Amino acid sequence: MNNFIKIGILSLSFFSLKAQNTPLFKEGNRWILVNNRIEKNEIFLTSYKKSKLKVNTLVLSFDKDARISYDYETNPNFPVSSSINYLDIDTDESSWTFDTLTNICTLTIKGGYASIDDFKFKREYKIEPVTDGFILIKEKDVFFEDLKHKKIVVAETKKKNSAVILSKNKPVTKNIYPARIQPKASQNISIDKVEPKPVSENQLIASTEAKVLKSDNLVETQPITSLPPSKINYFEQNKDLFDKNKRWILVKNKIERGDIYLTPYDESKLTINNLVMRLMPDAKIEYDYESDPKVRVCAGVDFLDIDTDETSWFYDAENNLFTLTLKGGYASLDDFKFKRTYSVELFDDGFALRRVEEHFFTDFRKPSKLVAEKKRRKK
């Protein structure tokens, strides 16, 4: 029995040591939380560098006692922004575990934006290394509590209960209607037909000029686009994405599997063979690969190649929808082709394209699908 206990202790020690050797959980490593809305999507963590800091950037670390510690740091060169969602975490009720056998990280997080009582969840994530960081991809939702909604329900219930109590205690009174106002007998009320007064030519010209002037003012004060302000904001928030001079690092090459993450190009973010792309105004995509010159050899990198002749994009600013048609692959340019619509989400260090609709996906690597595609084309 003692031998079994010793083996168990040694196993726990081994797994604890392996978790510490995983860069994400290594003691002393700090990570920038790229997207604060962790209750909605995957969690994207990039390695801490001062050059990546913007306004009130959340920096966290996974402590050895299964605790999570965090703080906000700011780059003084960036202007103050009112559009930032400040995430606060209740560290007393938040924790993490890592299963080295399954590569699953379990996070229990309580926090919020207006307070630390907005939500609480426990989720299992698969850890996937990406350019200069990690993405935690949700595998299983153990539980999710919307504490904010629960508060509203409780408040509404209390309000209804108090209204019922008040209505029971309220004395019953008859409805009192105001008396109709009757004209006095001495008053003679009559409705005469109103004849339009004649308008002089000068008055008509002045009236027309006033209308034209009013119309001109409206044209001058209207924005260039006719979209309502709430939808104009979509383009205003995301317009940097469509600047042809902007270069973006593709964070995760496996774009056919999930959402697409783009981070602004910076030499400090380069690792090995990073795909750097531009969204061109002619609806085309240009790309190339760049590497950190300090990194010499790296195995296991998936090189995504894009067939730029059969790839295009379109952005619907009114509905904040980005439609991407892309053909490419890893062994060749003919691995797959898809057309998908994404919503564009701005975060602290780039953009996320979150899939909302699949128009089609053709996997040329599977013979049956390839034959079906050829038959469809012949028709």
Q: Are residues 250 and 373 in the same domain?
A: yes
Q: Are residues 256 and 365 in the same domain?
A: yes
Mean of per-residue pLDDT scores for the chain = 75
Averaged over 249-263, what is the pLDDT? Answer: 89
pLDDT at residue 242, rounded to an integer: 77
CA 281, 285, 288 angle in degrees (round to 5)? Answer: 130
Closest Cα to residue 69, out of 103, 104, 52, 94?
94
Q: Are residues 251 and 144 in the same domain?
A: no
Q: Are residues 121 and 253 in the same domain?
A: no
The more confidently predicted of residues 190 and 111 is 111
Paired tokens of 195: 């004849």
- In the block, residue with structure tokens 């996937």: 128
Closest Cα to residue 99, out of 107, 90, 91?
107
Paired tokens of 45: 């963590």
Domain assignment present for residue 185? The answer is: no
Domain assignment present for residue 64? The answer is: yes
pLDDT at residue 119, rounded to an integer: 93
The beta-carbon contacts of 88-94 under 8 Å, at least 24 apart in sequence, are 88/112, 88/113, 88/115, 88/116, 89/60, 89/116, 90/116, 90/117, 91/67, 93/120, 94/67, 94/68
Domain assignment present for residue 200? The answer is: no
pLDDT at residue 346, rounded to an integer: 82
Domain assignment present for residue 249? The answer is: yes
CA 24 to chain centre: 23
Closest Cα to residue 285, out of 296, 277, 273?
277
Q: What proportion of the chain, given as a percentage, has pLDDT over 70?
A: 64
Local confidence band at 253 (pLDDT 50, 70, 90 cut-offs): confident
pLDDT tens, position by position, 101-146:
889 999 999 999 878 889 999 999 999 888 888 999 999 999 999 9
Give me the sign of the Cα torsion angle 303, 305, 311, 313: positive
Closest Cα to residue 24, out of 47, 42, 41, 7?
47
**38 contacts: CB under 8 Å, gap ≥ 6:** 87, 109
Residue 215 scores a pLDDT above 60: no
| Whole-number Å distance between alpha carbons of 151 and 273 | 49
Q: Are residues 241 and 129 in the same domain?
A: no
Averaged over 256-273, what is the pLDDT? Answer: 88
The more confidently predicted of residues 367 and 340 is 340
Boundary residue ending a domain (126, 148, 170): 148
Residue 246: CB atoms within 10 Å: 15
At 9, which amino acid appears? I
pLDDT at residue 174, rounded to an integer: 44
Q: Are residues 247 and 358 in the same domain?
A: yes
Closest Cα to residue 272, out of 247, 248, 301?
301
Are 274 and 249 contacting, i.e. CB atoms less than 8 angstroms apart? Answer: yes
The more confidently predicted of residues 14 and 334 is 334
pLDDT at residue 325, rounded to an integer: 95
55: DSSP letter? S
Q: Are residues 244 and 143 in the same domain?
A: no
pLDDT at residue 30, rounded to an integer: 94
End-to-end CA distance of the chain: 72
Averaged over 72-81, what is the pLDDT? Answer: 76
The more confidently predicted of residues 155 and 366 is 366
Q: Are residues 124 and 260 in the same domain?
A: no
Q: Are residues 242 and 359 in the same domain?
A: yes
Domain with 329, as residue range(s), is 237-378
Domain assignment present for residue 231? The answer is: no
pLDDT at residue 4, rounded to an integer: 45
pLDDT at residue 190, rounded to an integer: 46
pLDDT at residue 147, rounded to an integer: 86
98: DSSP letter? E
Q: Are residues 144 and 6 in the same domain?
A: yes
Domain assignment present for residue 206? The answer is: no
Q: State how many domains the chain has.
A: 2
Domain assignment present for residue 110? The answer is: yes
Helix/strand/coil for 2: helix
Domain assignment present for residue 192? The answer is: no
Boundary residue ending a domain (148, 166, 181): 148
Local confidence band at 211 (pLDDT 50, 70, 90 cut-offs): very low
pLDDT at residue 179, rounded to an integer: 41
pLDDT tens, position by position, 11-58:
444 444 444 457 899 888 999 998 888 988 789 999 998 888 888 889
Boundary residue ending a domain (148, 167, 188): 148
pTM of the model: 0.54
